[in-house]
Structure 1
Amino acid sequence: MEETTEIQKTEQLPAEKPAEKPKKKKLSKKKIALIVVAALILVPLGSCVYGTLTYKPTLNGAAASMGEIRTTVSFSANVAGDGLEKYPIPETTEVEKVYFEVGDSVKAGDLIVKFDNSEAVDAYKKATINYETARLQLNETEKDYWDLKEDLDDCIEDIEFYKEKWKDYEDYETIGNTTDEDLIEANRLYNNYFSKWEAAKDQKEALEKQIPSADYIKIQQLNFELTKMTLDEAEDVYNNLPQDIYAQHDGVIETIGVTDYGTAAKGTVAVSILTSESNTVEFNIGRYDIGDIQVGQKATATIGGVEYPGTVTHIDSVAKDDSVRAEVTLDNPEGVVPGISAELDIETYLNENCLTIPIEASKTDRTGDYCYVARDNGDGTYRPEKVYITTGNSSLTSVEVLEGLNEGDIVITNPPANIENMTSASLILA
């Protein structure tokens, strides 16, 4: 039997098809452009927001410090064109001797007039003594007042204390269960505190009589103010007393306005000398400056680039063409040619030791003058505080502060419009 072997073919099945990867969606050019634009906007915006949250404004500051305030008023002027040197009297005084007459020739350095200032000097010394006496008396009276007032307050406390004590023992015998010894001791204490109470009342009455009255203190205060005014006037005269007159240049005596042993009145031209040079600078004061210019003020005349110090020695009493003529006498007019023009700076105020701040730090509103003071937050930052101040005079760069600040306070020199909303800022000191 023939065996038939059946070969079974195994059907070769194809392998399972792998899952297809999800296709990436391609962005359109329009969307890409929008994303780029958004990035360009959001990144800087985020940086800006972050910067805003962390930003610290920076303020400039300067310390209030002791300094000088000097103010001047400038004028265009001319050197007197007649070659006449004038020597006016800055303050009334007595004349001791006049050594020349009108028409006499003089040499530079000749003594022409000698003054006797002893009366004014004595008046100044007397005013100084009276002022010091009044000051000491007022200080002593005020000290006595407060010392006696303190003693009186202590005495009143003692009166109340002793009264409470003797009251405690006044009815001691009515208390039950007390021994004779207790009563004796209570009676002793009662008498002791009662006598001290009466003594304290007597002391109070005596102290009240010793305390200076308000009227008495007021009289002494007024007397002190009066002596201070007298001293100020005497000191002003003393500081402006004329010095003996010496010829500054060769020349001829043109006029003499004083006599031996006579009184030389303030403003009088004591001597005028005709020379080839001049020591007088003439200028006109307008209505806006007339209140600032006074005889005796220091002045500087600039002529051809050279500065000549001098003093205001004369101001006319009557205006002409809406201005007042005035004169400055130069201390040393060597080389000053009559008729030449000059620039004149007159010192109207000088305080060499006062509290000052930069002029840009001082502001004004309806309430008054103020500035912003930098207060330390303790973390390296500062907060501005608005502080009202009392100001005095000012120069081109600084302001005099009379009240409101202390030396060393830091003031803001560049306050921005939103400074009052600031709580933290960096500070750069000048």
Structure 2
Amino acid sequence: MRRTRWIVMTLFVILFFAACSRNTAQTSTVQVSEYVVSKTNLTDTITLSGTVQAREYADIKSLVSGIVKKVNVSKGDTVKAGDVIAELDDTEYRLAYIKALQNYETAKNSGSKLLIQQREIELELAKRDLENCKLLSPIDGVVISIDVKQGDLVSSGKTIARIVNLEKLYVSASVDEVDYSRIALGQVATVSFDAIEGLTVGARVTYISSEAQTSQGIVVVPIELDLLSVDVPQLRSTLSQAGIDPTQFQQRLQQLRTQGNLAQMPQRQLQSGSQNQSTRIIPGLSCEVNIVTMSKENVLAVPINAVKFSSGKAYVTVKKSDGSTEEREISVGVRTNNFYEVVSGLQEGEVVLVTGRTTTTNRTQQMPVPGANIMFRP
């Protein structure tokens, strides 16, 4: 009896879950659309995240010890190469120079060649120390930091200021190894900044590392892009001055925007009265980089879903004027995310079929199993 009771209870549980179960079915349908073969401009890009860096900067260090007599600049000041950033009290160094000069003159009268050489070197060192009491900027740029004030005692080797040349900026970025083969020196790019709304500037790939790195488990290749010193309004003005029709430039920008290359560029950037904000670009800013890896104008192209491959050959389904279709071999060129370039096999105006597959999920409730509501009693 006990064994029979367990069998009955097990059957009851199975019938109960069978009554409550649902069946899930997926159906797949093929959608076919028509595409008229036409000439277009193919542009392919890679989007990366980067950081603005300074190509040229200088840390101003004191090469002698002394008391700061004067500071000539403040943070944010613009300086030229050779400008005096700060001055140290040079009293002791002037005295040392005069003594070295006297010793040198005395040695010349003694006639000893070795002594003359010794005193000459001592004089050169004393002169160098005296000159080093004036701390000069070696480059043109902007004072980013100044870490001393009048009356401070500085030691030899102490950094007192940093100068950054904001006219020579570049973007440091990394490209995934999957896209590494698509990157080449000289490729142009557009750069936009989260911190500067509405600003898009040009850039050019100037460095590709010869060694890949691993970042958070992903293999990447470091690259650098030099920022161009003009934004879109400036470029438009420059083209106009060079005799290039600004209308054609506007049309080209619109073509790139249609293809997604400059989709992030606000329309107001194309207005001649737009304020130039490129001077607000500073080292450390994060940015988005769109590198143009391929650009072809006025070529025949078809959607990638229209092309089928068999035995290494490409085919499309062509719809004839009478409504019938034929499979035709074509030669393809470059590929973007959405299109194949057609090198041969199709003519402008012909119609090809584009296939796409959609999947839908249907849920049907299982009908109650007869007897599932029977209650068994021991």
TM-score when normalising by structure 1:
0.37
Instruction: Determine which structure has the larger helix proportion and give its number.
Output: 1
TM-score when normalising by structure 2:
0.42
